[in-house]
Amino acid sequence: MPVPSAIASALLAWADQGGLRDLPWRTEPRDPYVVWISEVMLQQTQVSTVTPYLQRWLERFPTVEALAAANLDDVLKAWEGLGYYSRARNLHRAAQVLVKQHGGRLPADRQALLALPGIGKYTAGAILSIAFGRRAAVLDGNVKRVLARVYDVDEEIGRSAAARRLWQLAEALVEAVEPAQAGRLNEALMDLGATVCLPQRPRCLVCPLHGLCLARQRGTQEERPVRRRRKPLPHFDVTAAVLRRPGHSDQFLIAQRPPEGMLGGLWEFPGGKCHDGEPLADCLRRELAEELGVEATVGRLVTVVEHAYTHFRITLHAFECELVAGQPQAIGVADWRWVTLDDLASFPFAVTDQKIIAALQKTVANS
């Protein structure tokens, strides 16, 4: 069984020899706020995507105080396109807690960090080790893969028993180094998984853990980590209305989703999920009545958008609609507005609605 101190030594030596990625937020001294925001953005998102987002974010919200004082719409707009919008809402709420309870500073205390909205065991470990030089483990997808191969873990990593074992292995590694080295060790683990210990065709011959890895020795590296076979994602038809304002052909209705739940706080073209066997036009008319208290006619198809979320897929059908009765009310939505196409840049939208906007812009450009 590989010895934690040997693994840690090999990883730190690899880091010292230039193994770590040169990332713009890895500047010394480490700013706990920047570490926090970057680690949240990097969850399930590639570095190449995060880099420009983080730069814009820090220009807009350079401090905890600036983030806490910001309007949630502005925070969601800055996050627009990264997905997992609950993370942006949690960052905003956590910043407000930090201002009220911690003087606008991230605490160097595990329990205080875990009490903040959106900060779990992984993020707390990253902040403590990288920003504060504390012994704290991390376990993201890259680290799981490295540890599952080094120790040849033959259990499904999604199961609780395997997760506990991987956390124990990660914790043993940081216990094998001085506290000040824990952050660099964790970054080496994450970067090794991102650049060498790849999901497919791992680069074993250039890996600093080549001689220690049980999976490589046993020829099972391509089979680790063991993942549960995914079930087919359920599919739903969804409708959306480009609802024109009577007497103002250049204006249409957008609605804000309730603050909690999926895509909470984002704006959208109103509509919703179809019931089984429900015709698209009937679905859209029903949703407009239930959410906004209006009656509308459903006209031409504007665009069709296919999109996959983590647990399901949708086909979104957007239609031109005309208001025939009622005035919009916030019944099943948080808010609503009549807007022009030029107004939309000020509102945060999910990627599906951005594609509706692109279709509308293309129609205008071609007219």
Q: Is 39 a catalytic residue?
A: yes
Q: Would you state the pLDDT for residue 231?
A: 85
Q: What's the token pair of residue 67?
A: 């983030």
Residue 228 lies in a domain: no
d(CA 161, CA 142): 19
State the CATH number of the domain containing residue 355.
Answer: 3.90.79.10
Which of 203, 223, 243 is the C-terminal boundary of a domain? 223
- Positions of the chain with pLDDT lower than 70, given as ranges: none
Residue 51 lies in a domain: yes
Q: Would you state the pLDDT for residue 119?
A: 98
Same domain, 175 and 289: no
Same domain, 317 and 187: no
Same domain, 269 and 166: no
Full domain range(s) for residue 319: 235-366
Same domain, 148 and 63: yes
Q: Would you state the pLDDT for residue 159?
A: 87
Pick the catalytic residue from 28, 39, 222, 322: 39
Confidence (pTM): 0.92
Residue 230 lies in a domain: no
Residue 229 lies in a domain: no
Q: Which helix (H) or strand (E) holds 292?
A: helix 280-292
Q: What's the token pair of residue 319?
A: 């239609």
Q: Which helix (H) or strand (E) holds 54?
A: helix 47-60
Q: Would you state the pLDDT for residue 25?
A: 93
Same domain, 195 and 344: no
pLDDT in tens, 153-169: 999 988 889 999 999 99
What is the number of domains present in the chain?
2
- Burial code (b: 16+ CB inside 10 Å, e: under 16) for 280-308 equals bbebbbbbbbebbebebebeeebbebeee
Same domain, 209 and 349: no
